[in-house]
Amino acid sequence: MSTVSHLGLSLAQVLVEAAAIVAFALSGLIEAARKRLDAVGVVVVAGLTAFGGGTLRDVLLDRRPFFWVQHANWLWALLALCVAAMLFMRARHLQITARAMQWPDALGMGLFAATGTQLAVQMQMPAIVAVLMGVATAVCGGVLRDMVCNEIPSAFRDHRPYALCAFVGGWVLVIVTLLGGSDETALVLAAGVAAALRVAVLLGDYSLPAWTAGEGDERLE
């Protein structure tokens, strides 16, 4: 890989990761506002949502420094975003709904699924490991958000495909890369497919079958 290509890829990854952070921070901020947390709680929840999945990915892949350490200005951007959003919502008296949180969450999930998978592919991880790193990056921020807000994580309980969308997006990146597509193309296609699948699920209100225990299972409890 040439120096120019490597620099372009690094820029693409930084831009996609930054967009994912903003999207997930917004979803965390909306959920914290919906739970009527104080200003500190809003910032903490937004930060955990934005950086939690990427930090877990970097820990598992033994990548140093973490993204938010290497690009520390994003911490200031997160604080500014939280302050501006809280002032705006108070001034406009906006009604905060669970539905409003789902749209930036869908975008952030797709973007993080793509970057997490691509970073693992570049570290020459097996394909299935790379895809699971993308899923972990995409899902864990939202899981932390819901846990701190005293909720069972929506990724596990609402029966609407979430991790599955990230899983499919990860495989799109792997396949495009194997077919010789550019890294930037693979990144955009994977993020687009994962996010589009999640949006389609929300618009169509599609849900996976819930687990139901039969009478024969109850005696095993």
Domain-wise residue ranges, the chain: 3-209
Residue 137 and residue 194 in contact, taking contact as beta carbons nearer than 8 Å: no
- For residue 4 the two structure tokens come to 């120019």
- For the four alpha carbons of 7, 108, 73 and 116, in that order, the dihedral sign comes to negative
pLDDT reported for residue 93: 61
Closest C-alpha among 128, 137, 108, 140 to residue 171: 128
CA–CA dist 81, 10 (Å, integer): 24
Q: Tell me the whole-structure pTM to 2 decimals.
A: 0.80
Taking residue 90's Cβ as centre, other Cβ atoms within 10 Å add up to 10
**pLDDT for the residue 213:** 57
pLDDT digits (tens, 9 = 90+) for 59-108: 998 888 887 888 788 889 888 988 888 887 777 666 666 667 788 888 88
8-state DSSP, 46: H
> What's the pLDDT score for residue 133?
94
Candidates 50, 52, 53; CA nearest to 23 is 50
**Mean of per-residue pLDDT scores for the chain:** 82
